[in-house]
Amino acid sequence: MKSTIIIAEAGVNHNGSIENAFRLIDAAVEAGVDYVKFQTFKAAKLVSIEAKKADYQIENTNNDTESQFEMLQKLELSENDHETLIQYCKEKNIKFFSTAFDLTSLQYLATIGLDMVKIPSGEITNLPYLRLAAKLFPKVILSTGMATLQDISSALNVFLNAGIAKANITILHCNTEYPTPMLDVNLKAMLTIGEQFGTAIGYSDHTLGIEVPIAAVALGAAMIEKHYTLDRNLPGPDHIASLEPNELKAMVSAIRNIESAMLGSGLKEPSNSEIKNISIARKSIHISVAKAKGEIIIEQDLEMLRPGDGISPMEMDNIIGRAVNRPLTAGHKLALSDLEV
């Protein structure tokens, strides 16, 4: 069983501060994730000046007068910022990753050496974007928030038609609401995606807490993506639906534990660790009353007591009706050698 790839989504939770981005990388390293992921975009290429913010963005930023363009412009990372963060990730021995939200940003990420592209949910119906991504990157992560199976199929075909093998594509089940209500998670849809398209599957999570990503791993997710922040109380669109550093660390630990728990032959048999407890937890047949030599055993003479290193209670019917070959005291643990042949 391969280890689940865990992507810590720093996203725009740096709030435009390179120092915050450094601290986010440090938190990802401490948690033990595989990738730390940011977002690469130019606000002018991503959104029109008139575009309104989503309800969750208004609520999470506590600002209903700012446009989406104004909000995003403050969260851009420059090319110099990217280079600085990539170098810092190298120093910290963690993989840098980023999601591009426009064509220019796709091209930029390809030029700096990324060999894998993450298609954000909002771009799954953006044909020019999909075609350029398929041209530039040999590996694909496709996020599916707000999508139908037909949307997924159409996007997937762009990559397959470009010659990208299914083995290099991972499709992430996702819900694009921040935070996602538990009743809207629909985690079984992740399994449907795998059955329908035959790719690796995963889950990009926007719920509060760590339970759902852990459950996704138990169901077979090969990849988990989760937003995290330095502090959920910071202003910004994604902080409230993000994990704080101690929670991110707990999620990673739980996922690794689940991976261990999912190993094994699948056979139901005593494990190495529990064999020593068999005789302690189970019971053996004991004599509840004193018996004279030659006396016949009846059911009322028997009681089942620990330890379980004698005759199993499952053999009771084979013991009843037999005679003892020597005097036995009450409470004696019965042995086959106590019985007449």
- Average of pLDDT values for 273-281? 97
For the chain, first and last CA: distance in Å?
Answer: 53
Residue 125 φ/ψ, nearest 5 degrees: -110, 15
Q: What is the pLDDT of residue 72?
A: 85
Domain with CATH 3.90.1210.10 in the chain: 275-338
Nearest residue to 156 (alpha-carbon basis) of 179, 133, 174:
133
Whether the predicted pLDDT of 324 surpasses 80: yes
Percent of the chain with pLDDT over 70: 100
Q: What is the pLDDT of residue 1?
A: 64
Domain with CATH 3.20.20.70 in the chain: 5-261
Which of 51-65, 158-172, 273-287 has the lowest average pLDDT? 51-65
Class of domain 275-338: alpha beta
Whether the predicted pLDDT of 156 surpasses 80: yes
Res. 143 pLDDT band, cuts 50 70 90: very high
Tell me 220's DSSP state.
T
**Residue 253 CA: distances (Å) to CA of 99, 218, 221, 257, 289:** 25, 14, 16, 6, 54
Length of the chain: 341
pTM beyond 0.75, yes or no: yes
Rounded CA separation 309/198 (Å) = 50
Chain-centroid distance of CA 260 in Å reads 13
HSE-up (13 A, CA, CB side) for residue 248: 31
**pLDDT tens digits for range 43-69:** 888 888 888 877 877 777 778 878 888
> What is 5-261's CATH superfamily?
Aldolase class I (3.20.20.70)
Could you tell me which residues are beta bridge partners of residue 11? 38
Q: What is the largest CA-CA distance in the chain?
A: 101
Whether residue 179 is preceded by a cis peptide bond, meaning omega within 30 degrees of 0, is yes
- Average of pLDDT values for 4-19? 96
**CB atoms closer than 10 angstroms to residue 249:** 19
Whether the predicted pLDDT of 275 surpasses 90: yes
**Residue 246 CA: distances (Å) to CA of 20, 214, 224:** 16, 16, 17
**Residue 110 CA: distances (Å) to CA of 78, 86, 106, 124, 202:** 15, 14, 6, 19, 23
Percent of the chain with pLDDT over 90: 88
**CB atoms closer than 10 angstroms to residue 317:** 8
Rounded CA separation 159/216 (Å) = 25
Residues 6+ apart with CB under 8 A from 235: 15, 61, 62
Mean pLDDT of the chain: 96
Residues 6+ apart with CB under 8 A from 286: 302, 303, 304, 305, 310, 331, 332, 333, 334
